[in-house]
Each structure stands twice: as structure tokens, then as C-alpha cells.
Structure 1
Amino acid sequence: MDTDLRKLAGHLRDHGLHVTFSGAGHTLQTANPLHEALTEEIATADGQYVTSFGHEIGEGGRERACAERIAHILAIPATDGTADPAAAAPHDPAQYRRCEVCHEMGADVITRMFVADTGGDHTSYAHSSCAGVITP
């Protein structure tokens, strides 16, 4: 099944998810790059891919469909199937960040980061060309 996990990992990466192997390669961790709290651990059991909650997500040999389900669970936008999924995948999280200076999408520089005692956080972003006008 290790080979199947590697094939699944490739499809998950095509969706823009971060993927790492753990447990000597017997499980994989996948995460939404836009929100680190959205993660899932996938293992194999009896020819099935299984989530950390024990939910059967798909069977070996159907890695592409399984990756689509996992991407949905981790809040990655679905492709319509007509375009190349690798081209439509959100590889650059900056495309979803609004610049605090010009208010356009594509901010790529952290300008402020707040982390509360409770563990909550907020981060502000700007374009590298806009960041110079921000004062502390």
C-alpha cells in the first residue's frame, strides 16, 4: 500500500495541499496551506484509505477520487474537471490574501502578526511594493 499512498500524495499535491509522510511511510499528513489547522492524517486499512477519524475515504486504485474528497474535507476549492487540476490548484497562498494598503488580492509580505494567549491569531499582509508605506 505504500506505493498507493505515494500516488495519493501526488494527487493531493496537485490540489495544492501540503503532504508529508509519517510512521515510516505508512501514513501521510496533509494540510491546507492557507490554514494550518485544517489537517488530516490518512492511513490504509484493508485496501481502503482511512482518515484519522476512521472514516473510509476511498479504495486503493482510486487515488484521484480519494484526493478530491480529502481536498473537499480540507476546504480546497474543487476544479470543474475540464482544466488541468495542477494548473487550477492553489499553489500560492498569496493569491487569497488582501493587501492592507491597496486592498487588492495577492499580498505576499506579513506586516503584522497577533497571537493571543488563547492560541487565536490574526495576520495582516501587504504586497512587497506596498509594505514600505506601513508604519508601526
Structure 2
Amino acid sequence: MSRSYKLPARQRGDVLLESLIGILLMSTIGLGITYASSRAAVSQRDMKLQNIVVNQMRSLLEQNGALLCSKSSITISIPTQTDPLPITATCTSASAVTVGTSTITGGTPQSSVVLTTRSQDSSLFGGVIRVGDES
């Protein structure tokens, strides 16, 4: 009875290296998906806030119109902010109305009101929002 002993084969680590590369690739893809979804969520939040501000400014124009020119301070409130958002009213009057290529003069002068707001906090909605008729 002779016994033969086989020496164990040398382990090369191919499977370990392949799994390490696989984990690295999966984590890179996961980080990319996380970044893209977070940017989409921030963009959606900004658009929602802009929509709220525009709707409130349009409502002010519909309810008050040219009376906004005589008010010294106009503010609106945003659900995520504790401080009211200041609004600037710019009023211009025109005695002539242009429709297409025809200009009609006379009658009572008409007022044009433009409401403008700027976010003090750059992360709020990031810019200027204007509502109204600009000539």
C-alpha cells in the first residue's frame, strides 16, 4: 500500500481579482446613479418652488392689477421659507396700443405691470422671476 500525496495547487487569485474589479465597477455605477437621482430631485424641487412663486405673482396681478404700483412693499410667502419673499412692481403707462402692425391712439391710458422677484438665497430657486407684460 503506497500512499501518494499530492501537493495542493498554487492559488493564483484570479477569482478574487475578478470579484474585486466587479465590486469596483458596481460601486462606480451606484455612485453615478445616486448623483443623477439627487440632481433630478434638486431640479424638481426648484421647479416646484418656481411654480409656486409664479402662481402667487399671477394671482397678485389678477386681483390687484395697477393698484400694485401704489403699494410700497409687496411680499409673498413660500412654504419652505420663514421670511416672506419681496416683490418689486414696475409700472409703465402707454397711451397707444399696438396690435399687429396697427397702432391705436387715444382713449384712456393703459398701465402695464411687471412683478419681479430675486431669490436672496441662491439655493431657493436660483435667479430672477418676472411675471407680467414687458414691452
Same fold (TM over 0.5): no
- TM normalised by structure 1 equals 0.23
More helix by share: 2
- TM normalised by structure 2 equals 0.23
Please identify the structure whose Cα radius of gyration is greater.
Answer: 2
